[in-house]
Structure 1
Amino acid sequence: MEAEAKEGLFKNKPYLYLIASQIVSNLGDWLDMLALMSLVAFKWNASPMEMSGVMLCMAGPMILFGPIAGVYADKFDRKKLMIWSDIIRALVVIGFVFATSLWHIYVLLILKGIFGALFVPAKNGKLKEIVSDDRMQQAMGISAMINNGSKIVGPMLSGVLVSTIGVTTAFYIDSFTFILSALLLIGVPKSLYEKEETEQPDGKKETMLQRMNGGLNVLKGLPVLFYGLFILSLAMLAIQIADSQIMILLRLIEGDPVDVAGYAMAASGAGVFVMSAIWSKKQPSSLAFVLALGLSLVGASIAITPFLIGLPMWMINLAFPTLFFIVGAGLGSIIVPFNVGVQKATPVQYSGRVFGTINSMTMLATIIGMLLGGVLSQLLGVTVTFIISGALLLVVGLSTFGAKKFLESRDPLAESDERIQGEAPSAAN
């Protein structure tokens, strides 16, 4: 496999099957996202707290099941876990068609999130198995491009489907994409290494809690990445304060809020897509600097957004996509370099737990942000909520600029990579 990977990613058949599965699955997620949000926000006229509840049910399972899912992704065959996750989510999505109240949506979103939490660390672990380290930068960049390219195509297709055929069609198509994704995963090989039970110095096997802590212990050996996780979590918290209330903000405009939301989502995806393409070919000289710059761009853009609401509709249709493109570009500069660094530094037998820990931490921050967004919007109004979100991101970004020299003087990422590869087995103890 190493020889095949070194010849080029597009000659690596297992990688092609895996990435094709991701294309189909990611596109399907965005096909039903706009339909679901439109159903809740406009047909059922959800309140700010109810909208936060929807977002909470999407993200909640990741924080609760992320670490456990990471353990299972390191213990069992990742291919089977991904296939079963796709099949079950396909069935769950069909349930949206028959939902008659908001609590039905909540339950279905929780079920979908549980199996999504299982899929993510299994997919990232499988990527580590089938792609060599010298191709990981390119592989992660392509993965991010696909993930965010779907945000460009998905909302546009969803808008067409919702307006011409109806919300129900989007849900059926999303269900089909999960089935197709599962079929593509058949071409991915089983695990390429032996999954052994890890033992403690006294000869006892690790407990579930010790296995769950293994991912965090690996990250602690990398100060720059550990701080990067902290920064990424804060960023997700602040972003979700605003993001969970975007549909509430758009209800204030006189035109069609669904169209504006679709344009904004697509522009945000385009911003991440562009930055993913850049970071897939270029290694940042300073991860801390890139994180700080990304946070500052996102913060400034979000803080400006509510001041656009009173503009004429033609200006809103131009200004919203522009700002959200900048938001996407900032996010791309945070997420892609961070994930590349984690993939390169993490041994394959720990990748499920490490990414399970990352997903859990970021989802915890996401949930807190969603709850804060609903509370702030209810108490202070949606305009003030967006300003608070943007200001918080700017503060974190400027703080990261200040911490750059300190972090890099303690442990440059290149040196950290070497050390963690050699010490990872003892880190989990």
Structure 2
Amino acid sequence: MSLFAIRDYRHLFSAQVIALFGTGLATVALGLLAYDLAGPRAGVVLGTALTVKMVMYVVIAPLAAAYVDRLPRRAFLVFLDVVRAAVVLALPFVTEVWHIYVLIGLLQAGSAAFTPTFQAVIPDIVTDESDYTRALSASQVAYTMESLLSPVLAAVALAFMSFNLLFLGTSAGFAVSALLVLSTRIPDARPNAHAKAWDRAAAGIRTFLRTPRLRGVMALNLVVASAGSIVVVNTVNYVRDELGGSQSDVAWMLAASGGGTLLAALALPRILDRITARTVMLTGAGVLLGGTTAAVSLMAAGLTTWTGTAINWTVIGIGMALVVTPTGKVLRASVAPNAIPEAFAAQFSLSHLAWLITYPVAGWLGTNAGFALAWSVLAALAGAGTAGALLLWPRHDGRRAVTGPAAPDATAPRLDRSTLSKAA
């Protein structure tokens, strides 16, 4: 309750939730639009569109972090919401596949700049350590509630309207999000320690490469992307073509994964008070590896049942929450306060670089060579990521994480060893 008593956080959180639900409706609609335009090759279209999205995230997020302290952050966030609302309004009028790629590129360029800026604002508003941990969990719950409820809402809406109308819900969500951000008092960013734009953009990446626990996080990003790509890219064709389901069935299957994520996210705040983030995140990697392996086994055995798929999608959702939810806490404990924006931007970019690898595997290889082969490759990538995290993230990580260019300045509060050890 102390967290939501903070007015500015409450408004920002509400903006996040509303925009997420709009985005969730658009995600379902985009998959159905791809199927409407390309039929059995919808996986290729969706995989390509999501690859365009990842390219934008990988390239633009670090640049946004490099310049964000020079901009009024509230006005910048509002501008990006307005741009995204306008772009989404054009999606219902798409008649060619290439139109999807252009509009998704514009839309995700805005999201790539918005998300790391939004994430970096939160620690400036929620300063108490325990409240910040719960803010991270609340943010993950918001993502998972969107994953669970957006497909359900879409399934209900699709019984009464065309999927094109779902894009209108996304546009409205971005507009309301802009109004809520506009009502929030967001402090100016701390001055960045790096004068040159390239140094600013690369500083977060260098911190990840120098810090053992963050190298482990990089490996875990690959595990999340490998398992998540199966759900995000292949659910449409899998449900429609393998299981013979309807548009609403696609939405309900996506909701199964969101439900698993929600269950885990609700339980994590208390778990993270007692168990280290490393243990929780590596457990999540094991769950995701098990989920991808089960998907391959069921497909190879011809056991493509509704029940089996729903259970496996739920397991994957649980694993994703176990890895993603503690990541923000680890990042905050690994850098100085004035380096938080670039650290979040680096994680945003690096995590989506992993998706940039896995989306084409799920979309292109899954369509041209079959789900069994594509999912086998993704399971191998998940295994490599899990092994890499175990090797790169020391079991007893007592090393001070703030190094090099990210070292705190004389005016910044310092992070002591006990705080770092607790977070890791």
Q: TM bucket by the smaller chain?
A: 0.7 to 0.9
**One-letter amino acid of the counterpart of residue 18, structure 2:** V
Structure 1 ranges of 4+ moved more than 6 A? 418-422
* Contact 2:40–2:237 (Cα < 8 Å) also in 1: no
Deviations 1:223-257 (A, max 9, x none): 21232123213542464367433333334324315
Aligned partner of 1:39 among 33, 37, 58:
33
Give the CA deviation at 1:118. 0.9
Q: Aligned residue for 2:117? A: 122
Residue 290 of structure 1 is matched in structure 2 by 280
The partner residue of 2:400 within 399, 411, 416 is 416
* Residue 126 of structure 1: how far off its partner (Å): 0.8
Q: Does 1:156 align with 2:152?
A: yes
CA contact (8 A) 2:193 2:406 kept: no
* Residue correspondence of structure 1 range 266-285 to structure 2 within 5 A: 266-283=255-272, 285=275
1:136 pairs, out of 132, 137, 148, with: 132
Residue in 1 that maps onto 2:371: 382
> C-alpha distance in 2, partners of 1:400/1:148?
24
Letter in 1 for 2:163: V
Quick check: 2:219–2:388 contact (8 Å CA) kept in 1? no
Q: What are the Cα deviations for residues 96-121 of structure 1, in whole angstroms up to 9, with x where unaligned?
A: 01111111111110000000011111
Cα distance, 1:82 vs structure 2: 1.1
Give how far 1:416 is off.
3.3
Does 1:360 pair with 2:371? no
Which residue of structure 2 lines up, in the alignment, with residue 96 of structure 1?
91
SS of equivalent residue, structure 1 residue 281: helix
The answer to whether 1:333 aligns with 2:322 is yes
Partner Cα distance (1:311, 1:376) in 2: 21
Alignment deviations for residues 345-371 of structure 1 (CA, whole Å, 9 cap, x no partner): 444432221111111111122112122
Q: What is the aligned partner in structure 2 of residue 407 from structure 1?
A: 394
Which ranges of structure 1 fall in alignment gaps of 5 or more residues? 1-6, 200-205
Choose which of 175, 184, 187 in structure 2 pairs with 1:188.
Answer: 184
Name the structure 1 match of 2:170.
174
Pairwise CA distance, 1:380: 3.1
Scaled by the length of structure 2, the TM-score of the pair is: 0.87
Which residue number corresponds to residue 109 of structure 1?
A: 104
Deviation string 1:43-64 (CA, Å, 9 cap, x unpaired) is 4316243332122123221011
User: Structure 2 CA distance, aligned partners of 1:400 and 1:351?
Assistant: 22
Identity level (%): 19
SS at match of 1:10: coil
- 1:373 maps onto 2:362 in alignment: yes
1:322 partner letter: I
C-alpha change, 1:174 and 1:184, in structure 2 (3 Å) is: same
1:202 corresponding residue in structure 2: none
Distance 2:333 2:83 in 1: 31
TM-score normalised by L of structure 1: 0.86
Q: Hey, what's the Cα distance between the residues in 2 that align with 1:230 and 1:394?
A: 10
Q: Give the total of aligned pairs.
A: 405
- Counterpart amino acid of 1:134? S
Alignment of 1:181-330 (within 5 A): 181-192=177-188, 195-196=190-191, 198=193, 206-220=195-209, 222-237=211-226, 239-240=228-229, 243-283=232-272, 285-305=275-295, 308=298, 310=302, 315-316=305-306, 318-330=307-319
CA distance in 2, matches of 1:8, 1:381: 50
Structure 2: give runs of 5+ residues left out of the alignment.
Answer: 411-424
Q: 1:166 to 1:342 in 2, by over 3 A?
A: same
- Structure 2: distance between partners of 1:334 and 1:53: 26
Other structure's SS at 1:282 match: helix
**Offset of 1:421 from its aligned partner?**
12
3-state SS of the aligned residue for 2:141? helix
Gap change, CA 1:408 and 1:302, over 3 Å in 2: closer
Could you say if the C-alpha distance between residues 239 and 167 of structure 1 is closer, same or farther in structure 2, counting changes exceeding 3 Å? Answer: closer
User: How far 1:222 sits from its partner (Å)?
Assistant: 3.4
Q: Is the 8 A contact 2:223 2:386 kept in 1?
A: no
In structure 2, do the counterparts of structure 1 residues 156 and 420 end up closer, same or farther at CA, with 3 Å as the change threshold? farther
How many Å separate the matches in 1 of 2:25 and 2:76?
23
